Amino acid sequence: TEALRIGLVQEVVAHGKQIDKAIEIAERISAQAPLGVKATIESARKLQREGFDAAVRDLMPQVLKLFRTEDAREGVQSFIERRDGNFSGR
């Protein structure tokens, strides 16, 4: 569709399948590290509110903070072990 072609949307689903697709996306997001998801949302909101420079300025401190979490260690370990992560939000 035109919306997809111009980048307004990332995906188009068949009529009547919107809820199924939304649930699928929500399940994928909810399986990720909660601190990382929260940081991603905060960064996107900062970009909208304060602009690109502010979002970029605050990105590295946030990433460094996330690297020191239990979830970061679990993410690396689960990748090495080729399994889904078991994230705690810590």
In tens, the pLDDT along 46-90 reads 999 999 999 999 999 999 999 999 999 999 999 999 999 999 999
Domains and CATH numbers, the chain: 1-30 (no CATH), 33-90 (1.10.12.10)
Q: DSSP letter string over the chain?
A: -HHHHTTS-S----TT-HHHHHHHHHHHHHTS-HHHHHHHHHHHHHHHHH-HHHHHHHHHHHHHHHHTSHHHHHHHHHHHTTS-------
At residue 1 the predicted structure's pLDDT band, cuts being 50, 70 and 90, is confident
* pLDDT tens figures, 5-29: 999 999 999 999 999 999 999 999 9
Per-residue pLDDT, 18: 95
Can you give the pLDDT at residue 14? 94
Q: Give the mean model confidence (pLDDT) for residues 32-50.
A: 95
